Chain A
Amino acid sequence: MIALLKRDLRLALRAGGGFGLGLAFFLIVVVLVPFGVGPEREVLRPIAPGILWIGALLAALLSLDRIFALDFEDGSLALLATSPLPLEAAALVKATAHWITTGLPLTLAAPLFGFLLLMQPEAYGYLLASLLIGTPALSMIGTFGAALTVGLRRGGLLLSLLVLPLYVPTLIFGAEAVRRGAAGLDASGALILQGGITAGCFAILPFATAAVLRINLR
């Protein structure tokens, strides 16, 4: 498992754009928003948590099709399926690798982007916490979606249609936690529920992902 994780991380690093692309996309979204809605503080401040969450979600979506596509094409996915490592564990590792290459950098960079969007100072802690709790779920759900569309030639658009509705609960609780934090309310309920969703995703989706991969490798 660790060897596979290392391999995936190395591939993401060396292939270029693994880390950078998602972050750059995130930055562009954040820069474009003030052009769209205007630079005033009273406009940007209330929408900043939502924009940051949606930006993180789209940036995570952007790199999903890479999770399995290359391995599927060159046959290493079939090798993984026949290896002693259960395919469920491989799916878990793939999701973890995706999170380390996209979710974690996004989480760490988000407060900086919150600064750009003139976010309320009290919200930074909640933003970090909710992204840290929520982005692993985004990666795991995305891995499932990527496994569903891996055999398709033009699965990119379909992938987003399949995955984005599944992101709804995570997004709601994540953005809600930050909004409540910014308003000085108690955000622990939203954070706990979000943690529950993430834990549930990691408990169920590796099995679903592995089942889907087996079907696609038939």
Chain B
Amino acid sequence: MSWTRPVLPWTFGLAGVCLVVGLIWGFFFTPDDFRQGSTVKIIYLHVPAALMAINAWIMMLVASLIWVVRRHHVSALAARAAAPVGVVMTLIALWTGAVWGQPMWGTWWAWDPRLTSFLILFLFYLGYIALWEAIEDPDTAADLTAILCIVGSIFAILARYAVFFWNQGLHQGASLSLDAEKNVADVFYYPLLVCIAGFVLLFVALVLMRTRTEIRARRIKALQARGQHA
């Protein structure tokens, strides 16, 4: 709590600066792609959001492991705080992908491996959050969701590779996905990096803020319980 108070406004500020600079640079000062036209610029929202959607889950996994091993309460609360942010990132990635896919592929949705595994990731997030909400005792909830997160991670990875297997069975090697970072030109690459930095900072700031809120809520509950006993 003590060190996050001065850090928090800076993180938010830096995230804002990076996002504003990166998005304005990306949207207005990069050329249109010769095939995709200006739709290519969705990349500045889509790629960072997708990246953070996965990284949020990885952060939850690490926090859950810390909770299981070290029983550090803040890590459980941080995992809880990260989940809704991760859901929103997943939704942003799915939504911007659909908006891009409509003019480019001619469809909002295709059962492409990447798209499908993101939808499954979304379901994992929903289950995780629902389990947190369903259990009243905070320590039990932290324990159960931590185990769910660990087991869920294994199955999420399995599902990801299973989905690739499944789709190759249907379309032989027809890949619609855009392997962005490998073939994107430098003009697009640098603003993209700034946007990614902005999303990372925004995620950190949001998680810090939400964790602080959770800690305060926990303290209020403890005080109320003490008041009732006295």
Contact = CB atoms under 8 A, between A and B. Distances in A.
Interface of A: 144, 148-149, 151-152, 155, 158, 161-162, 164-166, 168-169, 172-173, 176, 179-180, 190, 193, 197, 204-205, 208, 211-212, 215-216, 218
Interface in B101-160: 120, 123-124, 126-127, 130-131, 134-135, 140, 143-144, 147-148, 150-152, 154-156, 158-159
Given A151-B140, A212-B147, A164 B166 contact: no
Contacts of B144: 148, 212, 215-216
20 contacts: A149-B134, A158-B130, A158-B131, A158-B134, A161-B123, A161-B127, A162-B148, A165-B124, A165-B155, A166-B155, A168-B155, A169-B162, A172-B163, A172-B165, A172-B166, A176-B166, A204-B154, A208-B150, A211-B147, A216-B140
Interface of B: 120, 123-124, 126-127, 130-131, 134-135, 140, 143-144, 147-148, 150-152, 154-156, 158-159, 162-163, 165-166, 169
A180 B166 CA distance: 11
Nearest to A164: B123
A168 B50 CA distance: 21
Given A176-B166, A179-B169, A161 B155 contact: no
Given A152-B134, A155-B134, A215-B144, A169 B169 contact: no
A215 B127 CA distance: 19
A162 B127 contact: yes
**Most chain A CB atoms below 10 A, which of B126, B144, B148, B152:** B144
A205 B158 contact: no
Tell me what chain A mostly uses at the interface: helix, strand, loop, or mixed. helix
Given A161-B126, A176-B169, A212-B147, A148 B131 contact: yes
A172 B47 CA distance: 27
Contacts of B152: 165-166
A161 B162 contact: no
B87 to A, nearest CB: 14
Contact of A197 (B131, B148, B156, B158): B158
Contacts of B163: 168, 172
A152 B69 CA distance: 25
A208 to B, nearest CB: 5
Contacts of A173: 162, 165
Contacts of B120: 165, 168
Contact of A218 (B124, B140, B156): B140
A205 B150 CA distance: 11
A192 to B, nearest CB: 11
Nearest to B154: A204
Q: Please give me the 10 A-B residue pairs with the lowest Cβ-Cβ distance, nearest first.
A: A169-B162, A169-B158, A172-B162, A165-B123, A168-B159, A215-B143, A162-B127, A172-B166, A166-B155, A161-B127
A208 B147 contact: yes
A122 B102 CA distance: 39
A212 B145 CA distance: 10
**Most chain B CB atoms below 10 A, which of A165, A211, A212:** A165
